[in-house]
């Protein structure tokens, strides 16, 4: 769980048309990009659409990237904006059955992991989901997450803690979870 | 279940369900994952197969002289390559300003990856040079090579006008000096393989508002402005800023080499056949003084400017007199002279070297005085020079400091019992 550090050099190389840099960047960040989109949109297909658009945008906009030492924040802001415009355009169907599928259809990984993801998407509110997913996938600090989400750091912290408690409680109730 | 376990589970769950769309993205963007080696490959395959390992600063083939036409070919291939590839520049924070002056003056701003953000002509001649190439985004080493190549093909670099001033201005002296030394060396290596016996003066300077203003007001590059300011600090009682502004770039470079301006790297000799040379200057002075060459002791040369004209200031002793002549560096005309009675004379320990120096005569320039102690300081630093490896910054990421710092402040309600297994 460590996409927090993304080499800025990759973006600079991409700007010069370096495909290998794009591949490396994709490998480092694809889960964070997809997970973040999923946490906003709660829909696999929409998240995948946004993931696609986001990487195209990241590649084509690399020339406009201004070095501030925060390449991941830049990428995730692109993801956020794409998600929001998708929501605004009304193209999102929040289909709960979609992530029920996560457990059923995906053979890889443990069931427990997926149950937790499902719980996170079901139980948590809009902002809580984003905070928990971003933190778990990128290891970003609350302060950095706050910047991306345009929220006060204190809010992010308290929402994060509340989310973890909610998830714990949810798992308790399900019993089986250790 | 611990917080950390929850986070790890979420991470694993998302990672295992993230769709793999890399191939379709790359197909859509029409890119491959072959590392892009910029233009080096092109150059290597074009010209350098027979000259050993690839170096982006081609051609470097030891002492062998390259046929002129081949050099032109290489210069031309740079232009073609540069014209063919359009680079993007992402990082627009300037790291340094590199200026190249021959007569055309060009200022190049580079970013921390040492790629060109922009290249601007300082004068009309430079426009002609830059018109042909789009340097944006290219590596500064490649850009310098292309520019020098173009100056050669346009006839701005010749045996008579043989000097290049390379200046690097950066806030960080270490960074600036490293770039300056590397580029100076590379330009020199490049020119050594041409038929032009060229000279390179590399110089580092900080970013200085006042000097920037001075450059802009006078329509010269920042590098040239720095050289003028530095020359003014070399202790001449004759030269003025106005004098120096009136000089050709080559003359400034010659003064820079001979007057030991600080923080410079120097290759070759800017004293081309355009100037009469020290031996002829001495001859003119001796003739005027009516002194035999054999009687002149402790001969010294200084390069200076007298009323806007580059001069050799020749000083020597003969008998009880000290002579001081200013000789026009182009015509040999005596511009000023001084003879002083100074009987307290102790023979210099190394008097022999002075006379052997003047005895060398003949060629007039270069070799006759290259090994004189006075000038040693400008060519002694190239033996152990190695370009510093480019730094890959890799800040380490500490990934868990936030995971367990929270519970204390955000205690609340109901969860005391939920922490068990």
CA B62 to chain centre: 21
pLDDT in tens, B241-269: 999 999 999 999 999 999 888 888 888 88
Q: What distance in Å separates the CA atoms of residue B4 and residue A170, rounded to the nearest whole number?
A: 16
Chain B residues close to A35, C-beta within 8 Å: 10, 14, 18
Q: Is B6 on the interface with A (CB under 8 A)?
A: yes
The reported pLDDT for the residue numbered B373 is 39
The reported pLDDT for the residue numbered A90 is 73
Task: Decide if A23 and B407 are in contact by the 8 Å CB cutoff.
Answer: no
ipTM of the complex: 0.89
The reported pLDDT for the residue numbered A100 is 57
Low-confidence ranges of chain A (pLDDT < 50): 1-2, 96, 177-178
Residues 6+ apart with CB under 8 A from B14: A31, A34, A35, A38, A117, A133, A136, A137
Q: For chain B, 421 residues long, give each residue's pLDDT as a single digit of tens.
A: 788 888 888 898 888 889 999 999 999 888 887 754 443 333 333 333 333 333 333 333 333 334 444 444 444 444 444 443 444 456 778 889 999 999 899 999 999 889 999 999 998 889 888 876 788 888 898 889 888 888 888 888 888 888 999 999 999 999 999 999 999 998 988 888 777 888 999 999 988 889 999 999 999 999 999 999 999 998 888 889 999 999 999 999 999 999 888 888 888 888 887 889 999 999 999 998 899 988 898 899 999 998 888 999 999 998 888 999 999 998 899 988 888 887 765 555 554 444 333 333 333 333 333 333 333 333 333 333 333 333 333 333 333 444 444 333 333 333 333 333 3
Q: What distance in Å separates the CA atoms of residue B155 and residue B125, rounded to the nearest whole number?
A: 11
The reported pLDDT for the residue numbered A33 is 96
The reported pLDDT for the residue numbered B344 is 60
Residue A150 burial by Cβ neighbours in a 10 Å radius (0-12, 13-18, 19+): exposed
**What six digits make up the tokens of B214?**
């001075």
CA B378 to chain centre: 14
Residue B112 burial by Cβ neighbours in a 10 Å radius (0-12, 13-18, 19+): middle
**What six digits make up the tokens of B290?**
């009516």
Are B11 and A1 contacting, i.e. CB atoms less than 8 angstroms apart? yes
The reported pLDDT for the residue numbered B195 is 76
Main-chain phi, psi angles of A19, to 5 degrees: -70, -35
Mutation to test the A interface, candidates B1, B7, B10, most A Cβ within 10 Å = B10
pLDDT in tens, A82-111: 998 888 877 666 554 555 555 555 555 677
Task: Decide if A106 and B22 are in contact by the 8 Å CB cutoff.
Answer: no
The reported pLDDT for the residue numbered B254 is 93
Task: Decide if B395 and A5 are in contact by the 8 Å CB cutoff.
Answer: yes
Mutation to test the B interface, candidates A5, A6, A11, A12, most B Cβ within 10 Å = A12
Of A27, A168, A178, the CB nearest to B418: A168
Task: Decide if B88 and A17 are in contact by the 8 Å CB cutoff.
Answer: yes
How much helix, strand and coil, in percent to the nearest 5, is found in chain B?
Answer: 40, 20, 40
Main-chain phi, psi angles of A63, to 5 degrees: -65, -25
Q: Kindly report whether the global pTM for this prediction surpasses the value 0.80.
A: no
The reported pLDDT for the residue numbered A79 is 95
The reported pLDDT for the residue numbered B406 is 39
Q: Please, what is the Cα angle at B329 between B325 and B331, to 5 degrees?
A: 100
Task: Decide if B399 and A2 are in contact by the 8 Å CB cutoff.
Answer: yes
DSSP state at residue B48: I
């Amino acid at each position: 769980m460590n996409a927090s550090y993304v080499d800025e050099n990759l973006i600079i190389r991409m700007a010069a048309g370096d495909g290998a840099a794009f591949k490396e960047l994709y490998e480092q960040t694809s889960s964070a990009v997809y997970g973040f989109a999923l946490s906003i949109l709660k829909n696999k297909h929409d998240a995948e659409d946004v993931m696609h658009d986001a990487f195209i945008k990241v590649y084509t906009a690399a020339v406009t990237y201004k070095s501030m030492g925060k390449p991941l924040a830049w990428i995730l802001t692109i993801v956020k904006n794409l998600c929001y415009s998708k929501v605004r355009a009304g193209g999102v169907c929040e289909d709960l059955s979609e992530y029920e599928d996560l457990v059923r259809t995906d053979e890889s990984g443990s069931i427990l992991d997926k149950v937790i993801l499902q719980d996170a998407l079901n139980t948590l509110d809009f902002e809580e989901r984003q905070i928990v997913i971003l933190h778990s996938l990128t290891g970003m600090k609350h302060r950095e997450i706050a910047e991306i989400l345009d929220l006060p750091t204190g809010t992010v912290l308290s929402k994060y803690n509340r989310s973890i408690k909610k998830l714990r409680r949810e798992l308790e109730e399900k019993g089986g979870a250790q | 279940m611990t917080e950390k376990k929850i986070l790890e589970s979420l991470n694993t769950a998302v990672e295992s369900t993230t769709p793999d769309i890399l191939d379709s993205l790359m197909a859509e963007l029409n890119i491959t994952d072959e590392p892009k080696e910029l233009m080096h490959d092109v150059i290597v395959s074009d010209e350098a197969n027979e000259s050993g390992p690839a170096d982006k600063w081609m051609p470097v083939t030891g002492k062998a002289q390259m046929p002129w036409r081949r050099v032109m070919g290489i210069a031309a291939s740079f232009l073609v390559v540069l014209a063919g590839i359009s680079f993007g520049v992402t990082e627009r924070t300037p790291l340094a300003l590199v200026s190249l002056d021959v007569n055309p003056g060009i200022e190049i701003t580079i970013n921390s990856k040492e790629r060109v953000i922009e290249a601007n002509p300082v004068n009309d001649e430079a426009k002609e040079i830059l018109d042909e190439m789009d340097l944006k985004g290219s590596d500064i080493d490649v850009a310098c090579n292309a520019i020098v190549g173009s100056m050669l093909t346009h006839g701005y670099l010749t045996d008579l006008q043989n000097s290049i001033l390379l200046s690097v201005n950066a806030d960080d002296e270490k960074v600036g000096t490293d770039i300056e030394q590397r580029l100076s060396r590379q330009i020199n290596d490049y020119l050594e393989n041409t038929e032009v016996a060229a000279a390179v003066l590399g110089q580092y300077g900080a970013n200085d508002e006042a000097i920037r203003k001075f450059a802009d007001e006078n329509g010269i590059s920042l590098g040239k402005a720095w050289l003028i300011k530095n020359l003014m600090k070399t202790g001449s009682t004759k030269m003025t800023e106005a004098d120096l502004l009136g000089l050709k770039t080559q003359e400034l470079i010659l003064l820079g080499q001979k007057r030991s301006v600080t923080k410079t790297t120097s290759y070759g000799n800017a004293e081309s056949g355009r100037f009469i040379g020290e031996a002829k200057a001495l001859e003119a002075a001796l003739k005027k003084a009516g002194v035999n060459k054999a009687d002149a002791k402790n001969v010294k040369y200084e390069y200076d400017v007298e009323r806007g004209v580059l001069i050799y200031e020749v000083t020597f002793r003969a008998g009880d007199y000290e002579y001081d002549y200013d000789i026009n560096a182009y015509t040999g005309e005596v511009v000023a002279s001084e003879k002083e009675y100074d009987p307290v004379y102790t023979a210099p320990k190394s008097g022999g070297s002075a006379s052997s120096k003047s005895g060398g005569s003949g060629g007039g320039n270069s070799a006759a005085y290259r090994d004189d102690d006075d000038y040693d300081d400008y060519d002694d630093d190239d033996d152990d020079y190695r370009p510093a490896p480019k730094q890959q910054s890799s800040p380490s990421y500490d990934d868990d400091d936030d995971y367990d710092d929270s519970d204390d402040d955000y205690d609340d309600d109901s969860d005391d019992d939920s922490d068990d297994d």
